[in-house]
Amino acid sequence: MRVEIWSDIACPWCYVGKARFEKALAAFPHRESVEVVHRSFELDPGRAKGDVQPVITMLTKKYGMSEAQAQAGEENLGAQAAAEGLEYRTHGRDHGNTFDMHRLLHLAKAQGRQDELIQILYKANFAEERSVYAEGEERLVELAVAAGLDADDARKVLADPTAYADDVRADEREAAELGASGVPFFVLDRKYGVSGAQPADVFTQALTQAWGERPPLKLIEDNGAEACGPDGCAVPQH
């Protein structure tokens, strides 16, 4: 069974939702048969690459809230994250463009290190003092290496603005076609969707339902063709 997760590194609920989903997946009896794929979704795709500002400033401008309201929201998110065992800096975080991070995530996917990189990027963005936006490409290279990627491979991707760009855009188009207007957005076997950072028991229910409703395998008649089994392989007799 495949679970696809549309998310953005700048999204705090994606950070929390991933932890809740993984809690449900860890307890799922068939977890070894579940493939998890992370898909790209930018919350702020129109933001220029060098346009970095404090999270509180971004929230007040984007949503028209006061600084006190924005800070209260950050405190609430910090408490939600802590309940899932996650670190979360409620003061001093910044916000910027995540397109290069998504391109690196597609590189990581090609090398089987996608989950490692997305978790490192989340932690860097939400829990560490150093910025993932303001320190330039070498900061992203450093994080890619921490996830097991080659530094030169990461630099090549970042130096070429077309590298994996089509993959990111394809993910975003697909999210729109599936009706995702926000993230996190979880799609189970292209049959069920779960929107938002739901409690772990909601993900447990979704995993159980999706697994139970998988169609049984339809076997085409083999007409007695030779095959190997637990007792070995039949050897043709001449």
The answer to whether residues 94 and 52 touch, using CB atoms and an 8 Å cutoff, is yes
How many CB atoms are located within 10 Å of the residue 119 CB? 16
pLDDT of residue 19: 98
* Nearest-angstrom CA–CA distance, 55 and 94: 5
pLDDT of residue 216: 74
pLDDT band per the 50, 70, 90 thresholds, residue 61:
very high
Least confident range of 39-43, 82-86, 104-108, 225-229: 225-229
Retrieve residue 32's tokens: 């070894």
Q: Would the pLDDT of 53 be above 60?
A: yes
Q: In this structure, what DSSP letter does residue 129 have?
A: S
pLDDT average, residue stretch 147-166: 98
What backbone phi and psi angles, to 5 degrees, belong to 94? Answer: -120, 180
pLDDT of residue 188: 97
User: What pLDDT, in 10s, does the model give residues 202-230?
Assistant: 999 999 999 998 877 677 766 666 777 77
pLDDT of residue 221: 67
pLDDT of residue 130: 96
